[in-house]
Amino acid sequence: MTNRCAEACAKEFGLSQSDGVKAWLYKIIDERGQVTSELPNPVAPLRSSSGFFMVADKVVVLPLAKAPDGTARWVATDCKVFPSYRRRHSSGARRQAGTRIDPLTLAGAELVRHLNLSRAVLSFQRRCGGDPDPAIAREQLLWDVARDARAVTTPPDWYRGGQADFYVVSGDEYVLPASRKGSAGYFFDALNCVHRAGELFALRGTALAARCRFDQETMPAGSPRRELLAAALTADGQLMWHPPQWARPHPMARFWVAATGRLAAPVAWQPQHPSHPLLVLDLAERLSLADRARRWLGDRRAGAA
């Protein structure tokens, strides 16, 4: 077992020292460890150089490498703790011992791991485009927030939610108001999930169109595509988190606008332009088979001319 493996295990539990971790790991492995190439769902995305893992069921997973000296033995190079075990035996155990953590001293994943996200996930599903499946929505929220999360005592100026003990801010997009009175084994509770663009999703028609700008290269002024979309947005446009199923994803899109049931447009979100934060990048049309055939014939005739 490498020092890196022991240090990774200590980090999984939020410990600054890895003293004694190796002995604990050896004990767990001796009691319930087995070598396998197939991982259970909670840790299935993990990889190892050999394709094999030491799994102590529902406790830890150790990616394995072949011994560099060529002997028939495995070397544990890393350590991942099952999420359910970590929640029970890190935050919960330290809370019972009276340990306190100052959220203002934490950042990123180390901060978010101490948050009970149950209520925030519900808000994320309802107002931020989260997947209907709570487990998937939780992973989506973690992906969006954990990378650069930080705790502050004063929320950003744009925040319009309720007061809290502190606020977890990420990317100047998300705010998770939080309570220092944690529950379910966590040190803190995230009370809500608020996105900076949230108010835009309540706009419809003319009000939404007024907050949009058009990319001058792909949607130049006076172009038929721009005029078609502008008229449709004014009539019944709405903002969406995800593209319609029939529209192709766009690499620069943060949101989408849709209108009339057959028009959609990828939009970039630029909050540095508060009056017009939505930049329309392109136009997607949902055409019937007959419409596609007519357009194809028209393009061919135009090319022949």
Q: How confident is the model at residue 143 (pLDDT cuts 50, 70, 90)?
A: confident
Specify whether 212 is located in the same domain as 279.
Answer: yes
pLDDT digits (tens, 9 = 90+) for 3-36: 888 888 777 766 545 556 677 787 778 778 889 8
Indicate the SS3 state at residue 65: strand
Residues 10 and 72 in one domain: yes
Does 20 share its domain with 43? yes
Among the listed residues 112, 111, 109, 127, the one whose alpha carbon sits nearest the alpha carbon of residue 196? 127
285 φ, ψ (degrees, to nearest 5):
-120, 140
Q: What is the value of pTM for the model shown?
A: 0.64
One domain, residues 183 and 248: no
The reply to whether 130 and 159 lie within a common domain is: yes
Are 256 and 264 within 8 A, CB to CB?
yes
Ranking 128-132, 135-139, 259-263, 292-296 by mean pLDDT, the lowest is 292-296
Q: Please state the rounded mean pLDDT for residues 152-157.
A: 96
Q: Please tell me whether residue 88 adopts helix, strand or coil conformation.
A: helix
Query: Closest Cα partner for 219 from 227, 231, 207?
Result: 227
* Number of folded domains that form the chain: 3
Contacts of 203 (CB under 8 A, 6+ apart): 211, 238, 239
**Final residue belonging to a domain, choices 58, 85, 112:** 85
Neighbours of 131 (CB within 10 A): 16
Q: Is the pLDDT of residue 234 over 90?
A: yes
Q: What pLDDT is stored for residue 269 in this prediction?
A: 94
Domain containing 162 equals 102-196
Is residue 192 domain-shared with residue 263, that is, in the same domain? Answer: no
Query: pLDDT at position 6, please?
Result: 81
- Determine the residue type at 191: L
Strands, E assignment, 71-202: 74-76, 80-81, 115-116, 150-152, 166-170, 174-179, 188-190, 194-195
Residue with tokens 């022991």: 6
Q: From residue 204, how far is each of 37, 148, 234 by CA, in Å?
A: 52, 32, 8
Span 86-90, average pLDDT: 59
The answer to whether residues 45 and 63 touch, using CB atoms and an 8 Å cutoff, is: no
Q: Mean pLDDT for the chain?
A: 86
Is 78 inside a domain boundary?
yes
Higher pLDDT, 153 or 295: 153
Residue that the structure tokens 């049309």 belong to: 285
- Is 300 inside any structural domain? no
Residue 90 lies in a domain: no
Classify residue 171: in a domain, yes or no: yes
In a domain, 57, yes or no: yes
Whether residue 132 is found in the same domain as residue 184: yes
Average pLDDT for 62-78: 85
Q: Considering 141, 173, 196, which residue would you say is the last residue of a domain?
A: 196
Domain ends where: 179, 196, 213? 196
Whether residue 206 sits in one domain with residue 184: no
Confidence class for position 300, pLDDT limits 50, 70, 90: low
Assess whether 234 and 174 both reside in one domain: no
- The average pLDDT across 171-190 equals 92
| 45 inside domain | yes
Please report which confidence band the pLDDT of residue 280 belongs to, taking 50, 70 and 90 as the band edges: very high
Same domain assignment for residues 169 and 244 = no
Does residue 132 belong to any structural domain of this protein?
yes
Better-predicted residue by pLDDT, 43 or 103: 103
